[in-house]
Homo-oligomer: A and B are copies of this chain.
Amino acid sequence: MPVDGRLARGAATRRLVLRRAVDVASVDGLDGLSLGRLATELELSKSGVFALFGSKEELQLATIEAALEIFRSHVVTPSLDVAPGLPRLRAICENWLDYSERRIFPGGCFFFNVGAEFDARPGRVHDAVAVASGSFAEFIRESAREAVALGHIEADPEVLAFELHALGRAANADAVLNGGTQAYALARRAIGARLS
């Protein structure tokens, strides 16, 4: 199979830029991203980075996409290997807390940060963040519905999913803001009590 070396080169630097971009954005936000800063840190030219994405907004959207892939590989995919119902629900929570606590993104959960950043602004970036965040929320809801349908737990699945999602995000927020791991312990106790 013929591989165009030119395209391959572009895709490689694109990945290089995006790997840095998700880390920067998780700390300084998608607005804190700057072509010049990325270019300097990666020893590329600003115009080269710019040409790679065409506009800052496209860079932001590509960064969201890249972060989404990382998020899925750490949280969603491993959870799908676990049996549906309560076991999967537990796995989702634990994988998410682990993903936050291990600082897969240096600023904590990427989507928590950019969600808060763009929640009240219109535009394509807001929409992309909302879709990403919403699809994970729906994943929890669906898993909660399964757990209820299988008789593993008695609850309103909508409320249960909302609670679990809330506890995880609060742990991320408190832990990143204040340091320490106490918030994760609190969340694990609350989640454990809720899923027993």
With both beta carbons as reference points, the residue of chain B lying nearest to A105 in the complex is identified as B120
The complex is assembled from copies of this chain, and their number is: 2
Interface assignment of A156: CB less than 8 Å from any CB of chain B: yes
Cα–Cα distance between A186 and B141 once the two chains are bound (Å): 13
A147 beta carbon closer than 8 Å to chain B: no
**Once bound together, how far apart are the Cα atoms of A35 and B128, in whole Å?**
30
Q: Is the interface of A mostly helix, strand, loop or mixed?
A: helix
A190–B178 CB distance below 8 A: no
A159 CB, min distance to chain B CBs, angstroms:
5
A8-56 contacts to B, CB under 8 A, are 26-29, 31-32
Q: Once bound together, how far apart are the Cα atoms of A106 and B122, in whole Å?
A: 13
Indicate whether A177 reaches chain B with its CB closer than 8 angstroms: yes
Whole-angstrom distance between the Cβ of A152 and the nearest chain B Cβ = 19
Interface residues in A, total, Cβ within 8 A: 46
Distance in angstroms between the alpha carbons of A81 and B117 in the assembled complex: 34
The answer to whether A173 touches B169, judged by C-beta atoms less than 8 angstroms apart, is yes
Q: Check if B129 sits within 8 Å of A119, measured CB to CB.
A: no
What's the Cα separation between A171 and B116 when bound, in Å?
12
Contacts of A166 in B (CB 8 A): 166-167, 169-171, 187, 190
User: Does A113 belong to the interface (CB within 8 Å)?
Assistant: yes
A158 neighbours in B (Cβ, 8 Å): 186
The 10 closest A-B pairs by CB, nearest first: A166-B170, A116-B116, A107-B120, A119-B176, A119-B177, A162-B186, A166-B166, A27-B120, A166-B167, A163-B190
